[in-house]
Amino acid sequence: MPTAFKNLAALYAELEKETSYLKIRDILVRFFKQIPRGDVKTAAYLSLGTVGPHYEKTELGIAEKMAMRAVCAASEELPQKVKRLLLQKGDLGDVAESLSSHGKNKLTIQKVHQTLLAVRDAAGERSQEKKIQLIAKLLKQASPTEAKYLVRIALGKLRLGVADKSLLDAFALAFTGSIANRQRIEDSYNVCTDIGWLGESLAKRGIKATEQFDISVGRPVQSMLAQRVNAVAEIFEKIPGEISAEEKYDGERMQIHKNGDRIIAFSRRLENIGAQYPEIIEAARKGITAKTAVLDGEVVAVKNGKIMPFQLLMQRRRKYDVEAYRAKIPTKIFLFDVLYLNGRSLLKKSYPERKKLLASIMRESERLKLAGGVTSARINVIQAFFERSVKRGLEGIIAKSTGPDSFYRPGKRGWAWIKWKKEYAQGMRETFDLVVIGSYAGKGIRKGFFGALLCAAYNKQNGQFETFTKVGSGFTEKDFAQLKKELRPFEIKTKQKLLRVEKPMIPDTYYEPRLVIEVLGAEITKSPNHTAAKDILKTGLALRFPRFIRIRKDKGPTDATTIKQIIALYKRNNSS
């Protein structure tokens, strides 16, 4: 029997009241055990408030004014009344709930999903009207509780404290019977990157389903990541023998998928970003000789042959005026890996084998380059290469294992790849990618902006964002204006369950954990005020003398520096 949407709405209501991560997980486990296997894929998407995997278009294109018109049409109320209720309640979903009286609980999750896909795909003349009509039609059939959550999904504001990682835990328990299988499931997810397909496969085949996933053209895998060290000599302790050192570029990670003349470019966040970089698409089409391939690289902004800062490159991430900015901010891509080639997965091939194959299928051009590097077992050679890279204005180097087991591990941050940046060499210790979750009111010249930002690290174990530092320096006037603009859509009235904040760090304004910034710090110390690592070390950890470096639009909240990484750095720096 198809899963009724009222059952999913009841799940939403239960999750909304819960703050414990383990209880949220158990609620999800119970729900997924109860529904038909054929509904698991759709339920997985909808439980995250989305309509498909991250690499597909998932934005519905519904602004609040459009959603208000849909509520008016469904409830047959005047706009003035809906506006008044919105001012009182502060949430359009709550308004829809209070005005709903039509529903007979006949909606199924499949019907809701199909309608939301139609909303997403509505295009052309009168597309806004069509979207509003589709949402209004759903609301007319919805019960009050269903109406509340339908509006929140339409606006992208479900906010239940459920993330991909929550579902992976739930899948492990619901479909394999043991949380011990969680790592195998996450490894599969890093390759397939489709939470719905993964859930459906596990529901039907159990843990054996993890054996079926492999890389394919058109579906991105999670990027392999690098560890960091305190001294260049440590690289040779972690990677014995010959090391392949490559230039580390201050750009945006890009995964290129080629199938004949069709080229798709994915960001580290799995977004299709080819439309923002048409010259890179053209260069890959002409310069990659393989029929099918998946390649890993870094796009950089260039001017007069010189690589420009990351912040300039981010101006290319736009929906409009692409051609104008193409001329204003030219780009090129440096490729450093191939993961799939002419029908074969290369994930289990060693790094030297992959690099050799990459070179064999590339015709380099002004726009398309092979990443520069050297291979040596001598520390002075690697150190000299690092110094040359920094002189060229690059971030530093990535040292890579050349051993027989130097496989490409999607989503993994292991010791096969190690980054060594100029900040580390200059004694500035560490840079961290942190999520902005709050701000404190500004005074004096900062009035109207913010005085400082409350930043958090990501705890993969419980899916929460734990406070790590309060950043108040390093901002320019331009930064203040840009950050205010970037943060405004994420402002929320009360703290989300995903945010772990304790007194005295309570901010004046909370934000959804969406925006990532890079922060430079001098030292990690124990702190009674911050929550980072508190459950593990019985005391919080904090970053001393933090300084804002830049916004990282190329990274999502779960790409942020993790609590596990922070603990490892703290222990390593205090081992003496």
Catalytic residues: 248
Distance CA 434, CA 517 (A): 5
CA-wise closest residue to 288 among 216, 338, 361: 361
- Neighbouring-strand partners of residue 257: 264, 294
Q: Measured between alpha carbons, how far is residue 527 from residues 432, 471, 551 in Å?
A: 17, 15, 26
Burial 166-201 (b: 16+ CB within 10 A, else e): bbbbbbbbbbbeeeebbeebbbbbbbbbbbbbbbbb
Strand segments (E) across 342-463? 344-345, 368-370, 373-376, 396-401, 413-421, 430-440, 452-459
Distance CA 424, CA 386 (A): 12
The rounded Cα 455 to chain-centroid distance in angstroms is 16
Distance CA 411, CA 274 (A): 22
Distance CA 81, CA 92 (A): 12
**Residues 514, 523: contact at Cβ < 8 Å?**
no
H or E element: which one contains 310?
helix 310-313
- Neighbouring-strand partners of residue 452: 440
H or E element: which one contains 379?
helix 379-391
**Residues 402, 352: contact at Cβ < 8 Å?**
yes
Distance CA 331, CA 315 (A): 11
- Neighbouring-strand partners of residue 294: 257, 340
Alpha helices in 239-308 (DSSP H): 278-287
CA-wise closest residue to 524 among 432, 422, 460, 413: 432
Contacts 24+ apart (CB under 8 A), 159-162: 159/49, 159/492, 159/496, 159/512, 160/12, 160/15, 160/16, 160/47, 160/49, 160/497, 161/15, 161/18, 161/19, 161/21, 161/24, 161/463, 161/496, 161/497, 161/498, 162/15, 162/24, 162/28, 162/47, 162/48
Distance CA 117, CA 385 (A): 51
Distance CA 27, CA 15 (A): 7
